[in-house]
Chain A
Amino acid sequence: MTTEVGSASEVKKESDQLGADATKEKPKEVAENQQNQTTDPEEEKGSQSSPPTESQSSPRRQKKEKDPSESRGISRFIPPWLKKQKSYNLVVAKDGGDKKEPTEPVVEEQVLDKEESLPEEERQAKGDAEETAQRKQQEIKLDVKEEKPLQPVEEGRKEREGEKVKETQEAEVMDEAAKRETKEVQTNELKAEKASLKAPKKSRTAQCKVTLLDGTQYCCDLEKRAKGQVLFDKVCEHLNLLEKDYFGLVFQENPEQKNWLDPAKEIKRQLRNLPWLFSFNVKFYPPDPSQLTEDITRYFLCLQLRQDIASGRLPCSFVTHALLGSYTLQAELGDYDPEEHASHDLSDFQFAPTQTKELEEKVAELHKTHRGLSPAQADSQFLENAKRLSMYGVDLHHAKDSEGVDIKLGVCANGLLIYKDRLRINRFAWPKILKISYKRSNFYIKVRPAELEQFESTIGFKLPNHRAAKRLWKVCVEHHTFYRLVSPEQPPKAKFLTLGSKFRYSGRTQAQTRQASSLIDRPAPHFDRTSSKRVSRSLDGAPIDAVDQSLMKEFPGPAGEVSAQGPGVVSTAVVQDGDGRSDLRSPARAPHMPLIEGKKNSLRVEGDNIYVRHSNLMLEDLDKAQEEILKHQASISELKRNFMESTPEPRPNEWEKRRITPLSLQTQGSKGDLLFKDILSMKEKPQMVAARTVEEKPQEADKSSLETLNVVEEKKQAEVGKDERVIPEEMNGKELSPGRGPGEMRKVEPGLQKDSTSLSSESSGGSESEEDVGEYRPHQRVPEGSIREEQEEDAEEAAEAPGQAPKVADRERAVPAASPGPRAGAGGGPAEAGAQEKVVAPQLPAGRSADPGAAEQDAGEEAEAEPQKLNGEAAHVDTDVLPEIICCSEPPVVKTEMVTISDASQRTEISTKEVPIVQTETKTITYESPQIDGGARGDSGTLLTAQTITSESVSTTTTTHITKTVKGGISETRIEKRIVITGDGDIDHDQALAQAIREAREQHPDMSVTRVVVHKETELEEGDE
């Protein structure tokens, strides 16, 4: 049973990710699993161990291997109907519209591949045959993953095995089911869902240990797929803390890298294979602690600050150390008692990083002066003094400026501070920052132009690695949102802005939390102040305060669903209705979402994962920024100068104003407050999914084999012409085929459409806004953004037109042919190099029923796994396919330069030299189905709407750009997706690509994929890591 349980839990986790739909299905699955297991545990075992079984299963495994990322879980949970759609799509592609048939073929393939079905399984299968079938595919993938060595081991080997077994069984079941499957898929689905509801949920739990601020530990068992919020709420409940928005949970990748647990995401995914150890910390330091409602909140803040001071994170002068220490004593020990305290050994307390006897004496001396202060009052005094410290609430990140000089970036309530050594050399108040982005290990801020200047300047900083850059970016987004926004409400125009990366601060803003806390109506809770002295002693063996198992149950609830849906909505909306739904945000759409989401998910599962590490936001910005930079590069100094000059601008005015007005309290910058609003509300689920995939893979992305690299370049090209064909030659010099922008991963262009939309010119997927964190003037931006996006062609775009089956699928196959040489990216393992192409290749030949085995072999081990999956989907397509154009080019090493200006005071020293930050190898492959474009391109038509949506996951950023145009009475919808996968060597880019394509297809069944451009960049430098 243990095994079973384990598997069940996993399932749940995965399902969570998927979203609401998934959730529903979970129960079913669980039930299935149980059944299977119960039925023949023996068989399971047998299947694993027995050679014959293995052989049969091998194809699966191979497939699995392919999907390194995480398809496993996802596919399972995808609702049946989604699968149907897939099949539909496929069919459509071939025949132009038969839905029913397609489904069957898919199933068959599966069957063929894995005919292992067991009788017993069949029985089980009855009820959920269809679902099972769907699942099986997914499951298969799952297995593969597990087998991968690289993947993080979340659970013991045993568990894996168990899962495999289950999967296998399931797969078999599914196969049978598939056979049975007919046209009634939908019906089946319904049944399945019902069934699922009935089924009991089993889940696995993980024990979480949270180190609290007083040094004690809180332990609880949590469902493994629980989201961060669950744990956080649990901890706050344990602490009796209501004003919890200032706090967060931290997990550490290593001693130097602290990561905030995202409440909206699953813990497991965030941790990867890290132990479930957390610490409870202050995340947002209240600028004015006296405004906190409850003493208990202030108490926790004090505890945090004492830690900060003792560790040296919060530097203090001797006097301040003494003063703060004395308040600590007053709070913990009460009034100074000569008899009791005279002999007190203060060395047990830590008042400073390095504590001297002199300090202790001073502390004792000051302690005497606090007579009469209650603990709460002493805490308040402590905070009043601590809050004035210049580094109070400043989150420091190590970085380098353009000259390679070590600096620190400090994120705080007011903005971004730049330190060199201990000196503040520059400061960017939030209102001054237009955009925050990161690309690879570079972090960029776009700064509002000075009054007299025309150009916005972009300032770049080099972080130690990609993850550090992302972490910094996230912290910036969160701080800006928390401190500067009144509420998460989004203004109408916000949409575009919102498009940014998927990640947004999801909690309450400071304004909101203040409002909420003003409503707190409870008697001041009693709490015991732990002696800091005692704490230090007990740290190691901290007692476990409580174990809470209730969490498990709570978890599955609606919450998960909600969150999942939210994100999904956005993406969905876009995809489905190109026509009417321009509004991604509107809640009303939510209902649609689930479906859409499901599709996406399913797609991903089956397919390959496209992934990318960089956030598009960054990309776009970067690109832009870079362009600008390039422009200026002739005179970099000029740019710098601009920057320098620009900096001062905002302020002077304010100062002037103040001069007139009473000196009193003018606070700066209400201006910037609105920046992030838009973003907040929407979480993009799709991203999450993607993220999942990526995340599960062990590989982290730091090495960054860059696929994104060339984005900049790509954009340029894109801008040049709408036709992709224009291209890359310049860049790469070796392009075989005519069209594709180097950067584009894929474009899918719909041919004609049911919607009456036909695709219009290719718009670039909006790389633009993904990560823009803060724009001050959203309004302005929006329009701009749209325009830009159109122009730009992003590397990866997937457009799908409904109805046009034929064109679609092909790009993937093209790949194999293309497979040029190995792309040896430093970051990307060898596997990556060939992967994309290989994957594709198998599919082509294979057709639906094709021999998966053969194909797989061809492809390569890893590749193999995917092909099969792909086959299911892709195969159909292939048949119809139009000729594809494949271009492969391996561009020479590209040196990317970044201009970094970090020091406001050093103008004169700024040199014009260009600092090569990264050396990269880039490779571009384009798959294109020529036909489609022809029609659309002729005249660009009139642009109706353009939208860009960006989603981001750990290593992937997806930007979707949707353009609607009207041409001669026919409206075209073009969807371009750019997916940037950032990662270190471990990421399987091929899989990612395959998945992306699948997703695109699934999402937009009626659209066709017209073009896929794969651009890989590999960073040669190792600097990133």
Chain B
Amino acid sequence: MGTPGEGLGRCSHALIRGVPESLASGEGAAAGLPALDLAKAQREHGVLGGKLRQRLGLQLVELPPEESLPLGPLLGDTAVIQGDTALITRPWSPARRPEVDGVRKALQDLGLRIVEMGDENATLDGTDVLFTGREFFVGLSKWTNHRGAEIVADTFRDFAVSTVPVTSSSHLRGLCGMGGPRTVVAGSSEAAQKAVRAMAVLTDHPYASLTLPDDAAADCLFLRPGQPGLPPFLLHRGGGDLPNSQEALQKLSDVTLVPVSCSELEKAGAGLSSLCLVLSTRPHN
């Protein structure tokens, strides 16, 4: 279990999946996504991978893109990882469910304990799950239902798992994230603020909250790839495509801000939390 909160962001590996051409073509459009610039999207994705590997020093595992899975790069929806356990989700969209296969395989190879949903009534998108280091919040959104959340609770029994209603058409992680072990970062939209208030009610632990102008900027990644003593990183979009949030993010102390942008991928519904999965193969160290 480790020290509460201290385990947040501990990671040794990052898992990403390449951007297929189908994301920009008919597939994406069919999925209701706006047209996007494939090249730019791929460039953003490449930069992200580079930062994870070089800036943060993570072992980067990159799954090859699959044309049949246009949203494959959003693998954050396919698994919920905590410690040595990975819960393979059952995405709401039937079309996306095949995405979990590659991810499962990769995680298994990395030595994680794999847990399957195994309930056909359950739907869960990984980006509806926020792990604060002390507990889980599962957003009940259009993609995730109660049963899905229940399985999260069943899987991670050490932790409180609370449900948070998501009132906008986004995932919970699209509204908020962790800026540190005790800091929740949230957007300023009504939906984001509601979610944060709900979380405040549900939690037993005190968190500070930091409100950012942009909801999308709240989808940041607090990562601690190094040794315990080293300052952690915050992978965020404030310095890149969402400059308005940069100033607010700079209030966060004790973290090294690593700006990255993914505005083109965002058109496909992507955020930092969905574009990569981070894990530690040494959860107890």
- Tell whether, in the assembled complex, residue A414 and residue B200 are in contact, meaning their CB atoms are under 8 Å apart: no
Q: Are the CB atoms of B165 and A906 closer together than 8 Å?
A: yes
Would you give the shortest CB distance from B164 to chain A, in whole angstroms?
Answer: 6
Using A317-B85, A423-B161 as known contacts, say yes or no to A905 and B198 having CB atoms under 8 A apart.
yes
**When chains A and B are docked, how far (Å) is the Cα of A1023 from the Cα of B1?**
42
Beta-carbon nearest neighbor of A658 in chain B: B208
Assess the B160–A652 pair: CB atoms within 8 A.
no
Q: Does A667 contact B (CB under 8 A)?
A: yes
B246 to chain A, nearest CB (A): 17
Least Cβ distance of B148 to chain A in Å? 10
* B158–A388 touching, CB < 8 Å: yes
- Residue-wise, chain B 265-285 has the 8 Å CB interface mask toward A (1 for contact) of 000000000000000000110
Nearest to A667 among chain B residues (CB) is B206
Q: Does A274 contact B (CB under 8 A)?
A: no
CB contacts (< 8 Å) of B183 on chain A: these are 663
8 Å CB contact of A320 from B158, B198, B201: B158
CA distance A390 to B158 in the complex (A): 6
| Residues 290-313 of A at the B interface (beta carbon under 8 Å) | none
Would B197 and A427 count as touching, CB distance under 8 A?
no
B84 within 8 A of A: yes
CB-nearest residue of chain A to B211 = A659
Q: Is the CB of A320 within 8 A of B202?
A: no
**Nearest CB in chain A: distance from B60 CB, A:** 26
When distances are taken between beta carbons in the complex, the residues of chain A under 8 Å from B66 are none
Q: Is B116 located at the chain interface by the 8 A CB criterion? A: no
Q: Are B201 and A414 in contact (CB under 8 A)?
A: no
Q: Which of B99-156 contact A (CB under 8 A)?
A: 113, 134-135, 138, 140, 146, 149-150, 153-154, 156
In the assembled complex, how far is the CB of residue A908 from the closest CB belonging to chain B, in whole angstroms? 7
**CB-CB contacts below 8 Å: A342-395 with B:** 385, 388-390
Contact string against B for A residues 805-828, beta-carbon threshold 8 Å, 1 for contact and 0 otherwise: 000000000000000000000000
When the two chains form their complex, are residues B1 and A323 in contact, meaning their CB atoms are under 8 A apart?
Answer: yes
Q: If A659-B208, A666-B206 touch, does A424 touch B198 (CB 8 Å cutoff)?
A: no
The residue that B165 contacts in the complex, of A650, A658, A668, A908, with Cβ under 8 A, is: A908
A88 to B: closest C-beta gap in Å: 58
Residues 417-451 of chain A: 1 if any B CB is under 8 Å from the residue's CB, otherwise 0? Answer: 00011111111010000000000000000000000
Report the Cα distance A905→B197, complex, angstroms: 11
Q: How far is the CB of A368 from chain B (nearest CB, A)?
A: 14
Residue of A nearest to B206 (CB): A666
A423 touches B206 (CB 8 A): no
A residues near B208, Cβ cutoff 8 Å: 655, 658-659, 663
Question: Do the beta carbons of A320 and B1 come within 8 Å of each other?
Answer: yes
Given A323-B1, A427-B201, A663 and B163 contact (CB-CB distance below 8 Å): no
Contacts A904-B198, A905-B198 hold; do A424 and B1 have CB atoms under 8 A apart? no
Rounded to whole angstroms, the CA-CA distance of A323 and B84 in the bound complex is 14
Verify if B83 is at the interface (C-beta below 8 Å from A): yes
Contact A423 to B163, CB < 8 A, known contacts A317-B156, A665-B206:
yes
**Cα separation A665 to B207 with both chains bound (whole Å):** 9
Asked whether B182 is an interface residue with its Cβ less than 8 Å from the other chain, the reply is yes
The answer, among B1, B140, B201, B209, for a CB contact under 8 Å with A659, is: B209
Q: B83 near A319 (CB under 8 angstroms)?
A: yes
Residues of A within 8 A of B134 (CB): 388
> Quick check: is A654 within 8 A (CB to CB) of the other chain?
yes
A317→B157 contact, CB < 8 A: yes
Q: How many whole Å from A858's CB to the nearest CB in chain B?
A: 61
Is the C-beta of A651 less than 8 angstroms from some C-beta in chain B? yes
Bound together, the chains give a CA A414 to CA B203 distance in angstroms of 10
B206 touches A904 (CB 8 A): no
> A625 to chain B: closest CB distance in Å?
20
Measured between alpha carbons, how far is A648 from B164 in the docked complex, in Å? 12
Chain B residues within an 8 Å CB radius of A908: 165
CB pair A423–B162 under 8 Å, yes or no, is yes
A249 and B197 alpha carbons, distance in the complex (Å): 39
Q: A651-B197, A658-B206 are in contact. Are A425 and B162 (CB under 8 A)?
A: yes
Chain B residues near A425 (CB-CB < 8 A):
162-163
Neighbouring B residues of A340 by C-beta, 8 Å = none
A319 to B149: give the CA distance in the assembly, Å. 21
Bound state CA distance, A173 and B1, in angstroms?
73
A318 CA to B85 CA in the complex, in Å?
Answer: 10
Closest to B84 in A: A319
B92 interface contact, C-beta 8 A: no
A970 at interface (Cβ–Cβ under 8 A)? no
Q: Which residue of A has the minimal Cβ distance to B183?
A: A663
Tell me which of A429, A648, A659 contacts B210 (CB under 8 A).
A659
A944 to chain B, nearest CB (A): 43
Q: Are A907 and B197 in contact (CB under 8 A)?
A: no
Within 8 A of A (CB), among B194-227: 194, 196-198, 200-204, 206-210
Interface flags for B168-183 (1: CB within 8 Å of A; 0: not) read 0000000000001011
- Report if A656 contacts B (CB, 8 A): yes
Q: Is B34 an interface position by the 8 A CB rule?
A: no
Knowing A424-B163, A427-B201, say if A905 contacts B140 (CB, 8 Å).
Answer: yes
Residue from the set B163, B283, B284 with the largest chain A CB neighbour count within 10 Å: B163
Report Cα–Cα, A656/B153, bound state, in Å.
29
- Is A655 touching B209 in the complex (CB atoms < 8 A)? yes
Tell me the complex Cα distance, A650–B198, Å: 11
User: Is residue A647 within 8 Å, beta carbon to beta carbon, of the partner chain?
Assistant: yes
> Judging by beta carbons under 8 Å apart, are B207 and A655 in contact?
yes
| Cα of A323 to Cα of B198 in the assembled complex, Å | 33
* C-alpha spacing A25/B4, complex, angstroms: 59
- Quote the shortest CB–CB distance from B212 to chain A (angstroms): 12
- Chain B residues with CB below 8 A from A96, complex form: none
Residue from A315, A647, A905 whose CB has the most chain B CB atoms within 10 Å: A905
B160 touches A316 (CB 8 A): no
Known: A658-B208, A663-B183, A907-B165. A315 touches B157 (CB 8 A): yes
Report A395-428 CB contacts with B as 1/0, cut-off 8 Å.
Answer: 0000000000000000010100000111111110
With A390-B135, A427-B201 given, is the CB distance from A421 to B150 under 8 Å? yes
Contact for A654 among B163, B194, B206, CB less than 8 A: B206
Contact A424 to B162, CB < 8 A, known contacts A315-B157, A318-B113, A319-B1: yes
Q: Are A423 and B153 in contact (CB under 8 A)?
A: yes
Q: Interface 1/0s, chain A 655-685, versus B by CB < 8 A?
A: 1101100010111100000000000000000
Taken together as a complex, chains A and B put the C-alpha atoms of A629 and B182 apart, in Å, by 38
Decide: B207 and A658 in contact? CB cutoff 8 A.
Answer: yes
Interface residue from B84, B163, B164, B209 paired with A656 (Cβ < 8 Å): B209
What B residues does A656 contact at CB under 8 A? 209
Instruction: Convert B242-266 into 0s and 1s, putting 1 for each residue whose CB lies closer than 8 angstroms to a CB of A.
Output: 0000000000000000000000000
Q: Looking across the interface, which residue of chain B has its beta carbon closest to that of A385?
A: B1
How far is A205 from B267 in the complex, measured between Cα atoms in Å?
A: 79
Task: Decide if A655 touches B200 in the complex (CB within 8 Å).
Answer: yes
A666 to B184, CA, bound (A): 15
Contact B149 A423 (CB under 8 A): yes
Chain A residues near B157: list those with CB within 8 A. 315-317, 320, 389-390, 422
The minimal Cβ–Cβ distance linking B170 to chain A, given in whole angstroms, is 16
* Neighbouring A residues of B140 by C-beta, 8 Å: 905-906
Residues of chain A whose beta carbon lies under 8 Å from any beta carbon of chain B? 315-320, 323, 385, 388-390, 412, 414, 420-427, 429, 647-652, 654-656, 658-659, 663, 665-668, 904-908
Given contacts A318-B113, A319-B283, A905-B163, 14 further A-B contacts (CB under 8 A): A315-B157, A323-B1, A420-B146, A421-B150, A422-B150, A424-B202, A425-B163, A426-B202, A427-B202, A651-B200, A652-B197, A667-B206, A904-B198, A905-B164
In the assembled complex, 22 residue pairs joining A and B whose CB atoms fall closer than 8 Å, in A order, are: A316-B157, A317-B85, A319-B84, A320-B1, A320-B157, A389-B158, A412-B204, A423-B146, A425-B162, A647-B197, A648-B194, A648-B197, A648-B200, A655-B207, A656-B209, A658-B206, A658-B207, A659-B210, A663-B182, A666-B206, A904-B165, A905-B198
A-B pairs, 4 with minimum CB distance: A648-B197, A651-B200, A390-B160, A422-B153
Listed in ascending order, the chain B residues whose CB lies under 8 Å from chain A are: 1, 4, 83-85, 113, 134-135, 138, 140, 146, 149-150, 153-154, 156-165, 180, 182-184, 194, 196-198, 200-204, 206-210, 283-284
